Amino acid sequence: MEPPRADAPPRRCDNGATCAARAAEGDAGDRFSQRQLARPVCTVCGRVPSGTERNRLCRGTKPGHRIPWAEGHYDRLAALAADLVGRKVEVIIAMGGDLASRAAKDATSTIPIVFSVGGDPIELGLVASLARPGGNLTGVTVFVAELVPKRLELLSELVPKARVFALLVNPNNPNTERIIRDVQEAARLKGVQLPILKASTESEIDTAFASLVQLQAGALVVHDDPFLINSRLDQLVALAVHHAVPAISGSREMAASGGLISYGASRTALYRQVGIYVGKILKGAKPADLPVQQPTRFELVVNLNTAKALGLIIPPSILARADEVIE
């Protein structure tokens, strides 16, 4: 494949594993040999792709790439990681969040692992430090817990009269308790109520949305849990539309699919960085010497069609800050 120009914008990929694989092939502009491209690179993902993503994934990856999916079931991650280790792959990409990365680390101390996580890699026990990871892991982190209070702030600008904002979390996510604490503090400072809704299954998501009326919640903040915003994205959007609730998450895809607004790190940029690190490792670099990267680009996406359907007028201050406005 032709290497991208240095001034070219990152190519948009609908699937993180595909994007990472393509970036690995390009390695920030360096061309790989066909032999290198055929070397086994495997990805542990916590969610199942849609049919369209499956097709694109098959067209976008090489024979040496194997991508198993946990289909949103975190208890499957350990077995998936162990299977990849048994196949003696050369690199494992852990794209399913904190738990997928932990499962990969627990499965091997020798095979290089490149992760994409939302928590603190040091607290998660993945690396010794961000600058010098040590061991066999490196990757990118979003520190998502620091972004969720900001989403509450943005949502309160959109619905200033709301006095109750619900927070939807997955109780199985290791970052959940910290996120709850941080958002509760943000809610306290704003003088609003913050009931916590917990869901780790499809039926529990249905129950959570059904409770919004009784709670008199005027808006909803969705935590960036892989199960919630990836595996159950379509369900979340459909329920938000059905219940006519303004919702915010860190997923651009949620806003593009009919959600109201999103604010978070650019996934395309994150996945591309993962791919670049995989490329460097295949060419001889050691994970211990590759600093853990943090996002430098954050995207604010607003869906005006959804705002109109909800009877909301987007403040000019938010439109002026938006990186993308969907009309």
The single residue listed with the structure tokens 């379509």 is 234
Q: pLDDT higher for 160 or 80?
A: 160
Please state the rounded mean pLDDT for residues 98-119: 91
> Is 105:72 a contact under the CB 8 Å cutoff?
no
pLDDT digits (tens, 9 = 90+) for 82-93: 888 888 889 998
d(CA 208, CA 242): 13
Domain residue extents for the chain:
16-143+265-297, 145-264+299-326
CATH topology (fold) of 145-264+299-326: Rossmann fold (3.40.50)
Q: How many helices (H) and strands (E) does the chain have?
A: 14, 12
Write out 7-28 in H/E/C secondary structure: CCCCCCCCCHHHHHHHHHHHHH
Mean of all residue pLDDT scores within the chain: 81
pLDDT digits (tens, 9 = 90+) for 164-173: 999 999 998 8
Q: Kindly report the number of other CB atoms within 10 A of residue 194's CB atom.
A: 19
**How would residue 142 be classed by pLDDT, with cut points 50, 70 and 90?**
confident
Helices 233-242 and 202-215 cross at an angle (nearest 10°) of 30
pLDDT digits (tens, 9 = 90+) for 218-236: 999 999 888 898 889 999 9
What pLDDT, on a 0 to 100 scale, did the predictor assign at position 71?
56
CATH number of the 16-143+265-297 domain: 3.40.50.2300
Closest to 144 in 3D by CA, of 204, 73, 221, 217: 221
Structure tokens at 273: 């960085």
SS3 273: helix
Instruction: Report the chain's C-alpha Rg in angstroms.
Output: 20
d(CA 17, CA 271): 7
What pLDDT, on a 0 to 100 scale, did the predictor assign at position 39?
46
Structure tokens at 47: 């969610």
Q: Is the pLDDT of residue 279 over 80?
A: yes
pTM for the predicted model, two decimal places: 0.75
Q: Kindly report the number of other CB atoms within 10 A of residue 119's CB atom.
A: 23
CATH topology match: 16-143+265-297 vs 145-264+299-326: yes
What pLDDT, on a 0 to 100 scale, did the predictor assign at position 211?
97
